Amino acid sequence: MAATKDTNPSQPTIIIIGAGLTGLLAAQALKNAYFDEWAETLPMYNGETGDLMFKSAVPGARRITRRGLREVLSEGLDIAWGRKVTRLDTESDPEKVKVTLAGEEGVEEEEVWADYVLGTDGAGSKVREILFADQENGEEKAKAKRSGFMIGTCVVDYQDENVVRKVLEKHPVMAMAMSRGAVGGFGGREAITWNRVQYTTGTPPSDLQHTFFWTKIWKGSLSITPDIPRKGPEAVRYLKQSWQGDLSPDFQSFVDATPEDDTHTQAFIDEMGTWIAQPFDNRDGRVTLAGDAGHPMLILRGQGFQHAVIDVQNYVQALLEIRDSGKDRKEVVAAYDKDMVERGSKAALQALEEAELAMDAKSVEKMLMVRKGHGRSV
CB 182 within 8 A of CB 192: no
Of 58, 57, 102, 59, nearest to 83 by C-alpha is: 102
Q: What confidence score (pLDDT) does residue 61 get? A: 67
CATH number for the domain that contains residue 202: 3.30.9
> Is residue 366 domain-resident?
no
Residues 6+ apart with CB under 8 A from 187: 167, 170, 171, 172, 173, 174, 175, 212, 213, 214
Q: Are 126 and 143 in contact (CB under 8 A)?
A: no
Query: C-alpha distances in angstroms, 223 versus 149, 219, 227, 356?
Result: 11, 12, 9, 19
Per-residue pLDDT tens for 313-354? 999 999 999 999 989 999 999 999 999 999 999 999 999 999
Mean pLDDT of 367-377: 75
Please state the rounded mean pLDDT for residues 59-76.
79
Query: Residue 13 — pLDDT band, cuts 50, 70, 90?
Result: confident
Per DSSP, the three-state class of 109 is: coil
In-domain check, residue 154? yes
Residue 171 lies in a domain: yes
For the chain, give the percent of residues with pLDDT over 70.
87
Considering the domain boundaries, does residue 358 fall inside one? no
- Give domain status of residue 352, yes or no: no
What does the pLDDT look like over 242-254, one tens digit per residue? 999 899 999 999 9
Residue 5 pLDDT greater than 60, yes or no: no
Q: Does 69 have pLDDT greater than 90?
A: no
pLDDT bracket for residue 199 (50, 70, 90): very low
- Pick 196 or 248 by higher pLDDT: 248
H-assigned helices in the chain: 21-33, 66-74, 126-132, 138-142, 161-170, 232-243, 249-256, 303-325, 329-358, 368-371
Q: Which amino acid is at 294?
A: G
Instruction: Kindly state the average pLDDT of the residues 14-22.
Output: 76
Q: What is the pLDDT of residues 260-301, one digit of tens each?
A: 999 999 999 999 999 999 999 999 999 999 999 999 999 887
| Structure-model confidence comparison of residues 207 and 330, the more confident one | 330
pLDDT at position 79 is 87
Work out the pLDDT band at 198, boundaries 50, 70, 90: very low
Classify residue 290: in a domain, yes or no: no
In a domain, 80, yes or no: no
pTM of the model: 0.83
Which H helix or E strand runs over 174? strand 174-178
| pLDDT above 60 for 200 | no
Domain range for 228 is 45-67+146-274
Number of domains the chain is built from: 1
| pLDDT-derived band at 10, boundaries 50, 70, 90 | low
CA 347/CA 378 separation, integer angstroms: 6
Is 17 part of a structural domain of the chain? no
What integer pLDDT is reported at residue 333 of this predicted model?
97
128 neighbors 197 (Cβ within 8 angstroms): no
Q: What is the pLDDT of residue 205?
A: 42
Task: For residue 344, give the 3-state DSSP assignment.
Answer: helix
pLDDT of residue 9: 52
- Give the pLDDT confidence score for residue 202 in this predicted structure: 38
Distance of CA 147 to the CA centre of its chain: 17
Round to whole Å and give the CA distance between 286 and 118. Answer: 8
**97-137, pLDDT tens digit by residue?**
999 999 877 678 899 999 999 999 999 999 999 999 999 99
List all residues 6 or more positions away from 74 whose beta carbon is below 8 Å from its beta carbon: none
CA dihedral 375, 8, 186, 306 (to 10 degrees): -20
Check if the beta carbon of residue 352 is closer than 8 Å to that of residue 273.
Answer: no
